[in-house]
Amino acid sequence: MTQVRSVVVGDDGVARCWWAASTPDYRDYHDLEWGFPVADDVRLFEKLSLEAFQSGLSWLTILRKREAFRRAFAGFDPERVARFGDDDVLRLLDDAGIVRNRAKIEAVINNAHRSLEMLSTEGSLAGYFWGFEPPGRDRRPRPDLATSPEAVALAKDLKRRGWRFVGPTTAHAFMQAMGLVNDHVEGCDIRTRVEHARAEFERP
């Protein structure tokens, strides 16, 4: 592989963001998911939940456990997760396939309840989250930043609404992954695909 200005060109000739070169898991996630706009409420809730579990860990750890998380958390359907009780918390703490952290498990269950409240007031999670999309859809990428003013505003509003484990860094990573910004670096072949997807995306 050759590396030029934070872009890594793989054996397949595709130029990618530098972080996608370390493992096939990251490469596939980078090429097929990261930065592409999402308007599905379940996927948005799942991603914010997984970002909460990622806090203090690497995203690769969470990515490799994602299917186990999906099984453990009923596909991250907020209505189903909101019905979890004490027995479910104990079940999750005994599940070696996920990150067994009580505070994070209870945060996801709490956030499912907050999601249902948001659905009743905002109509959809997608409509709420996309309201924090930064102005200027073709802005220059800043993958070096750990947060942004919009992420700070999102984290502050979520906390006001009672959400947990949703700090500015978590909110920023969520916005990058769900396509609210395009932080693929200049020269990354996938950046152009994401730009096209965002241009055609119908904002909720």
Tell me which of 51, 128, 130, 163 is the catalytic residue: 51
C-alpha–C-alpha distance, residues 52 and 110, integer Å: 12
Q: Which of 19, 26, 34, 59 is catalytic?
A: 59
Per the residue annotation, which of 29, 34, 130, 163 is the catalytic one? 29
Judge whether 59 counts as a catalytic residue: yes
- For this structure, is 51 an active site residue? yes
Based on the residue annotation, tell me whether 26 is a catalytic residue of this protein.
no
- The string of DSSP letters for the chain reads -EEETTEEE-TTS-EEEGGGGS-HHHHHHHHHTTT-----HHHHHHHHHHHHHHTTS-HHHHHHTHHHHHHHTGGG-HHHHTT--HHHHHHHHT-TTS---HHHHHHHHHHHHHHHHHHHHHS-HHHHHGGGPPS-TTPPP-TT-S--HHHHHHHHHHHHTT--S--HHHHHHHHHHTTSS--PPTT-HHHHHHHHHHHH----
Q: What is the CA radius of gyration of the chain?
A: 17
Active site residues: 29, 51, 59
